[in-house]
Amino acid sequence: MTQPRTAPGAVYLDHAASTPMYPEAVAAMTEQLARPGNPSSLHASGRAARRVVEESRETIARAINARPGEVVFTSGGTEADNLAVKGIYWSRRQADPRRTRVLSTTVEHHAVLDSLHWLEDQGADVELLPVNRCGRLEIEALRESIERDPDSVALVSVMWANNEVGTVQPIADVVEIAHAHGIPVHTDAVQAIGQVRVDFAASGVDALTLTAHKLGGPVGVGALVVRREIELTPLLHGGGQERDVRSGTIDAPAIRGFAVAVELSVARQPEHAARVAALRDDLLRRVSEQVPDAVLNGDENCSLTNRLPGNAHIQFPGCEGDSLLMLLDARGIECSTGSACSAGVPQPSHVLLAMGADDVAARSALRFSLGHTSTQADVDALAEAIAPVVERARAAGIASGLGTTPVSAAKAG
Amino acid sequence: MRVLAAMSGGVDSAVAAARAAEMGHDVTGIHLALSRNPKSYRTGARGCCTIEDANDARRAADVIGIPFYVWDMSDRFHEDVVEDFLTEYAEGRTPNPCLRCNEKIKFAAVLERAMALGFDAVATGHYAQLVTGADGLIEMHRAVDMAKDQSYVLGVLTQEQLAHSLFPLGDSRKDDVRAEAERRGLSVAKKPDSHDICFISDGDTGGWLHEKLGERVPLSSGEIRDHATGEVLGTHEGSYRFTIGQRKGLRIGRPAPDGHPRYVLDIEPVSGTVTVGPRDELTVDHITAFRPRWCGTVPTEPLHGTVQLRAHGEEHRATVTVSAPPTAGKEDSAAGEDEVVIELHEPAQGIAPGQAAVLYDGTRVVGSATITRAVRREPRMNRRR
């Protein structure tokens, strides 16, 4: 039971998709699963379940320096993003009909982007601000956009760190500019918690999304941490269990596992980041030895202030990402090509396209993401497999007419 | 062997993949995503382009116990199959997109990529049989289940392609394949067969062509004329809406003088003139075709065999001659291409340029070619008027 939940013998390099649960979180969650009681019930069993939920809320609040009352449990990151973006937009616009603008970036997760597109259909003016070649928000573009007409901005939403290329965003600058005009800021910090230091109060953000399964907790639970003074229009109506903005029976076992995982991942973050970053740096070095024309996407400065410690997003010229993925998978090495749509049809990543990559380059990249169970042996296995895999994928890429940019033989040697 | 099983989400390809795995091959399943927007080509569960079909294929792969991926072939499919289909119709021909897809996508783009990735063969759920002949060449024969036989749409495959193909269903009857799917616990066992063109969602080919070609060939509207008198009988809004041999949808108010129905005899795409006349005028016995593709060796002597002129069409006895390039030495695109002349022993009707003529020697597929012209050589014996 203490074994990580990856496929047997697999080299798991896809922690940014979902990271194995901490054994402690599994134990805490299963213990609670065996206990009866709805946290909203008034009897002893209900009170016992409620106590578990409230203790978990306090644990999470303490870990990220928020107040317990600011933690609203949700079904995960997607619901928290939807609640923040739609809920704050609706409330702010209702308070002042001039507030029709929502400012965000071109590299957000689809949970934010698709919520914004939906709001657009409801009459919102959505502005997706550009990023630079590293995937970092052009902060002056945000300043200009706000100053053009500050009273019309309902909300600014900028992710803390990007899920694909790992670029850390300048949240402090975003908050400073937005708050100068009284505009609330939401941040999707799903990838950041447990990887880099996240202090809710000190950051100044008004709402922050986190989810359990990216930091060693279970899938299906997350939270929106939101300041008490921010008005939220609910998405889900019903019993009003969570602060009257989120209805649905409170999932005490999942929340218990979530809290344990947040506490552990935040407590271990400094040591974890240093260890994983060292493995990642070794991975980059070794891959570039084996495949000299491989290119690192995202910020070349891999310090913690710039890039998530476990993220290695690499472009392999002349290869199709899904060929690489399939060949590595056949060798037991698991990674990702980026965002996948519901049919599993690989689409060129909107993040890479926003960073200036062309269609072909965007399809020739892989994301390796390391996490708390990653070992030197994982990196060694990838270093050993990557050269023949790239060679093969390159041949297949040429067979399928990929690589309008010819692969330089001189560079490969 | 390392085998790549193309899985459409239907029962045939699922059972084919299962059989390949059971034969001891190292099988990987793939579903081909042929539309960038899976909803745009087809809705419902009868095609091979929906999210639902991808999920059905994925579940079948789970049950069989093989890895499964989706390959995005939408760009290639659009260029080589959909665009080709439109161009052919715009030029007054009647293409077969399934044949084109086999020629350009399944046994070309997919096979080439598979080989480059280290696979030895591609397996599909097509109904056709492969056997190794005495000369060591792979022969393709009609399926045991003649009602399901798909050798016609595979007639474009060359020896090189056949050598890396597996058709595990060729010796089976469809009913048995369904029963086997049930036995194997494949949830697609009762899924209906797909029939229509997979990228035309509602089966309305004319409406789809009108939507796609309406802008491209604005001048294709024209007159409907009588073949004998040249009299204008009506007008139409696009010659691509017609196929040689078509009877329905001509919308001519007046009946023919003899009371017999009229059929489309000829389509002239430039002027847009559609010529109509009696069924008898559709009768042809001399067919020329180009772009031949041979499954094995090129026939050097006239071939006395049979020819099939449309999918699920009947066989016609014929003598087939391959002639040397008629314009050898000239610089035009046809130079260097063999021409195929097909003399039908009994006349046939409604043969449309653009369709494939697939040549058989008994049950063996010899090759195929695209029909360019079909005419009457022998005098008509049974003319009524």
- Tell me which residue in A342, A393, A400 faces B112 most closely, judged by beta carbons: A400
- Tell me which residue in A343, A347, A395 faces B51 most closely, judged by beta carbons: A343
pLDDT at residue A411 in the model: 30
Distances (CA, A) of A225 to A49, A89, B202: 21, 16, 48
Rounded to a whole number of angstroms, the distance between the first and last alpha carbons of chain A is 47
Tally of helices (H runs) and strands (E runs) in chain B:
10, 17
Is the per-residue pLDDT at B24 higher than 50? yes
Mean pLDDT across B50-61: 88
pLDDT at residue B380 in the model: 55
Quick check: A399 and B38 CB within 8 A?
no
Q: Which is higher by pLDDT, B210 or A391? A: A391
pLDDT at residue A346 in the model: 65
Mean pLDDT of chain A: 92
Highest mean pLDDT among A171-180, B91-100, B312-321, B336-345: A171-180
> Rounded to whole angstroms, how far apart are CA atoms B223 and B90?
16
Kindly report the three-state secondary structure assignment for every residue of B148-183.
CCCCHHHCCCCHHHHCCEECCCCCCCHHHHHHHHHH
Q: What is the SS3 assignment for B342?
A: strand
Q: What is the SS3 assignment for A60?
A: helix
Mean pLDDT across A181-195: 98
pLDDT at residue B51 in the model: 77
Mean pLDDT across B33-46: 55
- Tell me which residue in B58, B67, B71 faces A329 most closely, judged by beta carbons: B67
Q: Is B112 on the interface with A (CB under 8 A)?
A: yes
> Rounded to whole angstroms, how far apart are CA atoms B264 and B282?
8
The residues pairing with A315 across neighbouring beta strands, listed in sequence order, are A295, A365
Q: Is B109 on the interface with A (CB under 8 A)?
A: yes
Mean pLDDT across B7-16: 95
pLDDT at residue A399 in the model: 64
pLDDT at residue A2 in the model: 43
Answer for the pair B238, B213: CB distance below 8 angstroms, yes or no: yes
Mean pLDDT across B21-27: 97
> Rounded to whole angstroms, how far apart are CA atoms B130 and B366?
13
**Helix or strand (DSSP H, E) at A380:** helix A376-399
> Rounded to whole angstroms, how far apart are CA atoms A189 and A186?
9
Answer for the pair A178, A146: CB distance below 8 angstroms, yes or no: yes
> Rounded to whole angstroms, how far apart are CA atoms B71 and A344?
9
List CB contacts (< 8 A) between A329 and chain B. Answer: 67
Q: How close, in Å, is residue A132 to chain B by CA atoms? A: 28
Among the listed residues B161, B157, B172, the one whose alpha carbon sits nearest the alpha carbon of residue B127: B172
> Rounded to whole angstroms, how far apart are CA atoms B248 and B244?
11
Active-site residues of A, by number, are 341
Is the per-residue pLDDT at A103 higher than 90? yes
> Rounded to whole angstroms, how far apart are CA atoms A210 and A150?
28
Answer for the pair B370, B342: CB distance below 8 angstroms, yes or no: no
The residues pairing with A137 across neighbouring beta strands, listed in sequence order, are A131
Residue B295: partners with Cβ closer than 8 Å, 6 or more residues away:
B138, B139, B140, B155, B157, B158, B159, B162, B365, B366, B367
Q: Which is higher by pLDDT, B172 or B206? A: B172
The percent of chain A in helix, strand and coil, each rounded to the nearest 5, is 45, 15, 40
Answer for the pair A209, A188: CB distance below 8 angstroms, yes or no: yes
Q: Strands, E, within A170-319: which ranges?
A: 185-188, 207-211, 222-226, 295-296, 311-315
List CB contacts (< 8 A) between A393 and chain B. Answer: 117
Best of B8, B112, B113 to substitute, by most chain A Cβ atoms within 10 angstroms, is B113
Q: How close, in Å, is residue A401 to chain B by CA atoms? A: 9
Q: How close, in Å, is residue B12 to chain A by CA atoms? A: 21
**Which chain B residue has its CA at the smallest distance from A322's CA?**
B71
> Rounded to whole angstroms, how far apart are CA atoms A33 and A42?
19
At A8, is the pLDDT very low, low, confident or very high (cuts 50, 70, 90)?
low
Tokens for A260, please give them: 């344990």
At A402, is the pLDDT very low, low, confident or very high (cuts 50, 70, 90)?
low
Answer for the pair B24, B30: CB distance below 8 angstroms, yes or no: no
Is the per-residue pLDDT at B337 higher than 90? no
Would you call A304 exposed, middle or buried from its count of C-beta atoms within 10 A (0-12, 13-18, 19+)?
Answer: middle
Q: Give DSSP secondary structure letters for B229-288.
A: T--EEEEES-GGG--TT--TT---SSPPTT-PPPEEEEEETTTTEEEEE-GGGGEEEEEE
Is the per-residue pLDDT at A197 higher than 80? yes
Q: Is B257 on the interface with A (CB under 8 A)?
A: no
Tokens for B313, please give them: 């069409």
Q: What is the SS3 assignment for A74?
A: strand
List CB contacts (< 8 A) between A344 and chain B. Answer: 31, 33, 54, 58, 69-70
> Rounded to whole angstroms, how far apart are CA atoms A361 and A314?
10
Quick check: A345 and B72 CB within 8 A?
yes
At B270, is the pLDDT very low, low, confident or very high (cuts 50, 70, 90)?
confident
pLDDT at residue B385 in the model: 38
Q: Is B379 on the interface with A (CB under 8 A)?
A: no
Best of A319, A325, A398, A400 to substitute, by most chain B Cβ atoms within 10 angstroms, is A400
Is the per-residue pLDDT at A222 higher than 60? yes
Q: Which position has the token pair 């783009």? A: B109
Among the listed residues B210, B107, B201, the one whose alpha carbon sits nearest the alpha carbon of residue B158: B107
Q: How close, in Å, is residue B199 to chain A by CA atoms? A: 17
- Tell me which residue in B31, B69, B118 faces A322 most closely, judged by beta carbons: B69
Alpha-carbon radius of gyration of chain B: 22
Active-site residues of B, by number, are 101, 198
Min mean pLDDT across A214-223, A265-274, A336-345 is at A336-345
Mean pLDDT of chain B: 86
Among the listed residues A310, A321, A308, the one whose alpha carbon sits nearest the alpha carbon of residue A365: A321
Best of B27, B35, B48, B72 to substitute, by most chain A Cβ atoms within 10 angstroms, is B72
At B219, is the pLDDT very low, low, confident or very high (cuts 50, 70, 90)?
low
Is the per-residue pLDDT at A409 higher than 50? no
Angle between helices A252-267 and A23-33 (to 10 degrees): 160
Quick check: B116 and A392 CB within 8 A?
yes
pLDDT at residue A413 in the model: 27
- Tell me which residue in A329, A330, A343 faces B54 most closely, judged by beta carbons: A343
Highest mean pLDDT among A342-351, B186-195, B334-343: B186-195
Quick check: B116 and A396 CB within 8 A?
yes
Q: Which residues of chain A are at the B interface, by a Cβ-Cβ cutoff of 8 Å?
A: 322-323, 325-327, 329-330, 342-347, 392-393, 395-396, 398-401
Q: What are phi and psi of B82, to 5 degrees?
A: -70, -50
Query: Which is it for strands B121-123 and B2-6: parallel, antiparallel or unpaired?
Result: parallel
List CB contacts (< 8 A) between A326 and chain B. Answer: 28, 67, 69, 117
Q: Which position has the token pair 């119709």? A: B89
Min mean pLDDT across A75-84, A252-261, B204-213 is at B204-213
Among the listed residues A209, A226, A233, the one whose alpha carbon sits nearest the alpha carbon of residue A122: A233
**Helix or strand (DSSP H, E) at A116:** helix A110-121
Render pLDDT for A236-283 as a digit per residue (tens, 0 to 9).
999 989 988 999 999 999 999 999 999 999 999 999 999 999 999 999
Q: How close, in Å, is residue B140 to chain A by CA atoms? A: 26
> Rounded to whole angstroms, how far apart are CA atoms A330 and A292?
23
Q: How close, in Å, is residue B337 to chain A by CA atoms? A: 25
Best of A328, A331, A345 to substitute, by most chain B Cβ atoms within 10 angstroms, is A345
Strand ordering across the sheet containing A125-129: A71-74, A222-226, A207-211, A185-188, A153-157, A101-105, A125-129
Residue B328: partners with Cβ closer than 8 Å, 6 or more residues away:
B335, B336
**What pTM value is reported for the model?**
0.86
Among the listed residues B220, B215, B356, the one whose alpha carbon sits nearest the alpha carbon of residue B292: B356
Min mean pLDDT across A84-88, B12-16, B283-287 is at B283-287
Distances (CA, A) of A352 to A355, A370, B165, B176, B326: 5, 20, 37, 49, 52
Is the per-residue pLDDT at A130 higher than 80? yes
